């Protein structure tokens, strides 16, 4: 029983790092997929718009990168990457888990929302090519909330 309690802290910390990466990454995969589906429809009609479509598709992928940064930083601060990994208490493990959740949840949800906005922006590009930058601005508005999630997770990690 004692050994299970000794593993609980590190397990919670590692769970947090994994959730930051996986939830934000899954949201980005879904968001870029949504935008990509819309983009392929346009590209089948007008392949010359590939560069603009690609930009719109890539934008929802940033949340996955943010989750990776938070997961990497959590692993670094826990000592996993440099070999100094120590046995965390359950309280410390919960702190790492809590610190990783904002980008995991916020990044995952915002990536899907951003993918939907990017898909709409692809439609704007199809109908009014000169106004495609307006669609980018709408996509970047959603990005703001992913950045807030990233900021909160980083601030929490720094203070553990």
pTM of the model: 0.91
DSSP state letter for 61: G
pLDDT digits (tens, 9 = 90+) for 23-57: 999 999 999 999 999 999 999 999 999 999 999 99
Token pair listed for 88: 């965390």
* pLDDT value, residue 102: 98
Q: State yes or no: pLDDT of 151 exceeds 70.
A: yes
The mean pLDDT of the chain is 94
For residue 128, give Cα distances in angstroms to 36, 91, 92.
19, 54, 53
| Percent of the residues in the chain that have a pLDDT greater than 90, as a whole number | 88
* pLDDT value, residue 4: 76
Q: State yes or no: pLDDT of 153 exceeds 60.
A: yes
- Domain residue ranges in the chain: 2-158
Sign of CA dihedral 71, 74, 80, 82: positive
| CATH number, domain 2-158, options 1.10.10.60, 2.60.120.10, 1.20.120.610, 3.40.50.620 | 1.20.120.610
* pLDDT value, residue 156: 97
Give the model's confidence band at 7: pLDDT under 50 very low, under 70 low, under 90 confident, else very high. confident
* pLDDT value, residue 2: 62
Q: What are phi and psi of 83, to 5 degrees?
A: 85, 5
* pLDDT value, residue 3: 78
Q: CA-to-CA distance for 160 and 79, rounded, in angstroms? A: 13
* pLDDT value, residue 1: 54
């Amino acid at each position: 029983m004692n050994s299970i309690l000794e593993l609980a802290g590190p397990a919670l910390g590692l769970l947090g790092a994994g959730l930051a990466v996986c939830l934000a990454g899954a949201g980005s995969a879904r968001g870029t997929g949504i935008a990509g589906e819309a983009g392929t429809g346009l590209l089948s009609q007008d392949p010359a718009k590939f560069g603009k479509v690609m930009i719109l598709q890539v934008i929802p992928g940033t949340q996955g990168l943010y989750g990776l940064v938070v997961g990497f930083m959590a692993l670094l601060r826990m000592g996993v990457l440099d070999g100094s990994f120590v046995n965390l208490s359950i309280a410390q493990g919960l702190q790492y888990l809590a610190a990783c959740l904002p980008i995991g949840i916020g990044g995952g949800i915002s990536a899907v929302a951003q993918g939907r906005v990017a898909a709409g922006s692809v439609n704007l590009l199809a109908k009014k090519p000169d106004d495609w930058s307006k669609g980018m601005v709408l996509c970047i508005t959603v990005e703001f909330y992913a950045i807030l999630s990233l900021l909160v997770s980083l601030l929490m990690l720094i203070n553990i």
